[in-house]
Amino acid sequence: MPSSVSTLTEERTQDALPVAPPAPARSLLRGLRSWASVAWFLVPALVLFLVFVLAPIAVAVYTGFFKWSGTGPMDDFVGIENYTKLFDDQVFLGDLGHGLYLITLSITVQLPFALFTAVLLNQRLRGRAVYRMLFFAPYILSEVVTAVLFTMIFLPGAGMADHLAGALGLEGLRGKWLSDPSTVMPTLFVVMTWKYFGFHMMLFLAGLQSIPGELLEAASIDGAGVWQRFRHVTLPLLGPTIRISVFLSVIGAIQLFDLVWVMTAGGPNHSSETMAISMFQFGFKRYQVGYASAISVVLFMISLVFSLFYQRYALRRDLSGAVTSGGGR
Amino acid sequence: MASTPPSRRSFLALSGLTALSLSLTAACGSGDSGQGPAADGEVTFAWWNIATTEPGKSLFPQISSAFTAAHPNITIKTTSLENEAFKSKLTATTSSGKLPDVFQTWGGGVLRQQVDAGLVEDLTDAFGWSSDLTPVSLQAYQFEGRTYGVPYDVGMVGFWYNKKLFAEAGITAPPATWAELLEDVKKLKAAGVTPIALAGKEKWPGHYYWAYLAMRVAGLPALQQAATTKDFTGAGFVQAGTHLKELVDLQPFQTGFLGAGYATPGGQAATMGNGKAAMELMGQWGPSVQKDAGADLGADLGFFPFPTVDGGVGRATDVFGGGGGFALRKGAPKEALEFLKFFVLENESKLLASNGYLPVVKGAESQLTDANRKAVADSLVKATGFQLYLDQAYPPAVGQEINDSVADLIAGKKTPEQVTKSITEAAKGA
């Protein structure tokens, strides 16, 4: 997630660069020289970027065209066979479905819930700092710790969830949760929400605080009710924050691995498998490195295409600062 | 300020940095394996093991320091990694083509791939003392008459059962046939006891049932033949699945078994150890993990071999299992094999006394005191045939497909025919 944030800021700085005043022709040499020194300073970062980002991507794309077990020479070129096999693989198609399921629920349930809590905690409320901290705390936990914790909670027979279900008369749910193909995805989503809604709540809180009080005041003087103020003042001004939140949720859901790996390992029977888990299974369990590379390439392409389109169409206004400066102080 | 070209000094600093990072990379690359014999007779080799839990955790370093004390010119660089971490790290190392000098192996398909890639030393000629070891223990490391590994542990899978719960259900003797086992499962259920604990999340414990049934129905030669013809659709394999389905249809497993882990809290071993299930099909390590994750059943715990199937060609004395061993990187210093000889032959009684390993040296089984470990060791000595765990014997892609498909069968998502078809497809594609 931090990496997606940094690409956004990067975009900004790149936008800012060409703002330099047009140089007169006489100092062309000088301009070149300054570019040379800029390039010189960029070398260390570029080298790292090349070695640890671009090169691995290139290697993965290359490996994806081979049938390779990870040992010995990579000489069995199969062209796009890995990809045709991939889109014929029920497990992989299931992965795509699970990703979509999590994205949809994140946007329709988790983010509105986070927004709701943020609005609540933006009121003058006794002990609101404590609530803010409590709701944000799960985000600080590592994914593995969260997963182990919830494995205990959803333990069949002895776990807290089973006792709770018994007390609430939901006998049908006992012993299921993570152990039944029909309940595992909703259960996972509950855990994801528990872990991440606090983070989005913080983003929204920050967004809410940047909304000038005068605007809300003016609206109420004009006779706007609570809902109207929220709908026509708060929500539009929160637009940039919401768009970033959606972006982070989607990328997070596409790349989900640790939480699921520890809780269910993709089971029962692939019913909670994500793309990253399939990639690990094929790469490190079955040693079908070529096929696993193909999965990683698809995963990368989906993230890349989504990011580009989203930045181009949804974030463009935010990046150029149109909306934020409109509400600025 | 920024318009001046970089000075000579900063240029030097930068190139220095580059050189430093290059040498760092190089150091990381060569750090994994030893340097081999140097001019002054000093030998260093790297040893990767998985002894991160007791008894190996304290025993392995003891053995290596005893060896280096006797051979002052030898230095052993030990790396101990947890099982799964070891596998991942070795995979990464293997693809770079550089294995550590001495490394943990379970033999079978993975070792075979490494051998085929020319990465593993052929020990056959230097390993004269292999005649001191039981043939069963060596089998996993032998391909086409050549030996590529030295075993230090060997074991087998069988049913661990709770004698008290069996008695409560009115069962007097452990089942000898599959039909009797099914009857006992019904009796246990009628008595309100969960018959079998199973870790559905981890898949490998489930594959034991299918593999053993295939051994009992179709016989060992059929399994070996299927590995070469890559055809698992034979009637015997389908029948193995059908028999497993008979068991699954009785719903013998604990609540929520599809999400249960093996050694995790509330998992298979804990369920068994806490007396909440009457039996589990597990390897020789079963009792110690029960103790770790749950409680020690003590004298209530018994062992019986996998039952025979009526009409099947396999014998009750054919065993299914595996062990642990060490293999050498191609070109590893010859002192490494000396070390393994010392490790196995001189320390066998220490390994056995630690209650963590089973004998690989001929005749050593007489040193065992624990009744259950003795029962396992005796079955191994009497074994008429040996089959390595299928997920290790076959290439990893096939092994994992067996695990996956059998898990699907147990969850009711695949028919016995579909299981054999999926495995065959994976075998043909691998």
A71 touching B, CB under 8 A? Answer: yes
| Min Cα–Cα distance to chain A from B423, Å | 13
CB–CB of A269 and B17 under 8 A? no
Q: What is the domain range of residue A261?
A: 81-327
Nearest to B200 among A37, A159, A268 (CB): A268
User: Do A33 and B266 lie within an 8 Å CB cutoff?
Assistant: no
| Partners of residue A50 in chain B, C-beta under 8 Å | none
Taking the model in full, what pTM does it have?
0.80
Taking a C-beta distance cutoff of 8 angstroms, is the pair A159, A102 a contact? no
Return the pLDDT at A4: 43
Q: Which residues of B touch A (CB under 8 A)?
A: 2-6, 14, 17, 87-88, 91, 94-95, 110, 113-114, 116-119, 200-203, 254-261, 264-266, 395-397, 400-401, 404, 407-408, 411, 413, 430
User: Whose CA is closest to A83, among A275, A297, A270, A322?
Assistant: A297
Q: Which residues of A touch B413 (CB under 8 A)?
A: 269
**Alpha carbon of A88: minimum distance to chain B alpha carbons (Å):** 14
B265: closest chain A residue by CA: A152
Flag if B401 and A268 touch (Cβ within 8 Å).
no
What are the chain A neighbours of B400 within 8 Å (beta carbons)?
Answer: 281, 285-286
Q: Is residue A301 part of a domain?
A: yes
**ipTM over 0.85 threshold:** no
Could you tell me where the DSSP H helices lie in chain A?
2-16, 28-49, 55-63, 81-86, 90-105, 111-121, 128-140, 143-153, 160-167, 184-209, 213-221, 226-229, 235-254, 258-263, 275-280, 289-313, 316-320, 322-326
Distance CA A256, CA A238 (A): 27
In a domain, A308, yes or no: yes
For residue A268, give the chain B residue with the closest CA.
B258
Residues B262-299: tens digit of each pLDDT: 988 889 999 999 999 999 999 988 888 898 888 888 88
Residue A66 lies in a domain: no
Q: What are the 10-residue block averages of pLDDT along chain B, 430 residues in total?
A: 42 42 40 46 91 85 94 93 86 83 92 90 91 89 92 93 95 95 96 95 93 95 89 94 96 92 89 94 89 87 94 92 93 92 90 85 86 88 89 87 94 94 88
Instruction: Confirm whether A118 is domain-assigned.
Output: yes
Cross-chain residue pair B202–A71, CB shorter than 8 Å = no
Residues 179-238 in A contacting B (C-alpha not used; CB under 8 Å)? 179-181, 184
Q: What is d(CA A237, CA B293) in angstroms, rounded to the nearest whole number? A: 54
pLDDT for residue A135: 93
Looking up residue A135, the CATH number of its domain turns out to be: 1.10.3720.10
Contacts of B397 in chain A (CB under 8 A): 69, 286-288
Highest mean pLDDT among A111-115, A285-289, B15-19: A111-115
Please indicate, yes or no, if residue A114 is contained in any of the structural domains: yes
Structure-token pair, residue B2: 């920024």
pLDDT exceeds cutoff 90 at A205: yes
Nearest residue to B83 via CA among B50, B107, B47, B53: B50
For residue A204, the distance in angstroms to the closest alpha carbon of chain B comes to 36
Is A9 part of any domain?
no
Neighbours of B171 (CB within 10 A): 19
Of A267, A270, A281, the CB nearest to B201: A267
Indicate the SS3 state at residue A75: coil
Q: Which of A29, A285, A288, A293 to mutate to test the interface with B (most CBs of B within 10 A)?
A: A285
A186 part of a folded domain: yes
Which chain A residues touch B87 with a CB distance below 8 Å?
A: 284
Query: Tokens 């898990």 identify what position?
Result: B407
Judge contact between B107 and B146, C-beta under 8 A. no
Nearest to A269 among B91, B255, B408 (CB): B408
Whole-number Cα distances in Å, B35 to A278, B123, B327: 38, 20, 18
Residues of A in contact with B91 (CB under 8 A): 70, 284, 287
Instruction: Test A288 with B256 for CB contact under 8 angstroms.
Output: no
Residue A141 lies inside a defined structural domain of this protein: yes
Q: What is the pLDDT of residue A323?
A: 44
Can you give the pLDDT at residue B38?
47
The reported pLDDT for the residue numbered B300 is 93
Instruction: Kindly tell me if the per-residue pLDDT of A8 is higher than 60.
Output: no
Task: Tell me what pLDDT residue B391 has.
Answer: 81
Q: Of B261, B247, B241, nearest to B195 (Cα)? A: B247
With contact defined as beta carbons under 8 Å apart, do B265 and B239 qualify?
A: no
Task: Specify the number of domains making up chain A.
Answer: 1
- By CB neighbour count within 10 A (0-12 exposed, 13-18 middle, 19+ buried), where does B145 fall? exposed
Task: Say yes or no: A175 contacts chain B, CB-CB below 8 A.
Answer: yes
**pLDDT exceeds 70 at position A168:** yes
The residue of chain A with its CA nearest to that of B411 is A269
Could you give the CA distance from residue B58 to residue A133 in angstroms, rounded to a whole number? 44
For residue A43, the chain B residues in CB contact (below 8 A) are 14
Contact A287 B118 (CB under 8 A): no
Which of A10-14, A18-22, A128-132, A171-175 comes out lowest in average pLDDT?
Answer: A10-14
In the prediction, which pLDDT does B275 show? Answer: 94
B82, B91, B112, B414: best to mutate for the A interface, most A CBs within 10 A: B91
Cis peptide leading into residue A268 (ω within 30°): yes
Question: Which pLDDT belongs to residue A24?
Answer: 55
Average the pLDDT over each of A99-103, A323-327, B121-125, B232-236 and give the range with the smallest value: A323-327
